Amino acid sequence: MENLSKVPDCDMYIQSELEEAGINICRAESGNSGEVPWKIFGKSINSRFTFKRAWSYYVVKGDIPQNIQRIITNEVTLQTNGDLHIFSQKALCSFAEIFGK
């Protein structure tokens, strides 16, 4: 995934990534004031997860399933706070296919 830090038109990239994974696109009321200035984010079809873009990965929040270990690789990491970080388009698509329906 491309590093979108300080990329003004980052929503164009984010929309493309989320659409490819089949993840619903939501518009944020105020946008992100962090390093990646997004105004859109993803929400799984079943609304269990949100997908917010960071520099070169997605931060996934929600009820992370116990069997998440089957997709943990160097492209998906489970953080100590319970969030997932997804570092590739392939892994984003896999996560959405397995857990996002």
Residue 101 has pLDDT above 70, yes or no: no
DSSP-derived 3-state class of residue 49: strand
Q: What pLDDT digit, counting tens, does each position of 42-88 carry?
A: 999 888 899 999 999 999 999 877 667 666 677 887 787 878 899 99
pTM value is: 0.88
Q: Which residue has the higher pLDDT, 72 or 98?
A: 98
Vertex 20: Cα angle to 15 and 26 (nearest 5): 35
Work out the percent of the chain whose per-residue pLDDT is above 90.
55
Q: Where are the domains of the chain?
A: 10-99
CA 30 to CA 100: how far, in whole Å? 25
pLDDT (0 to 100) of residue 89: 95
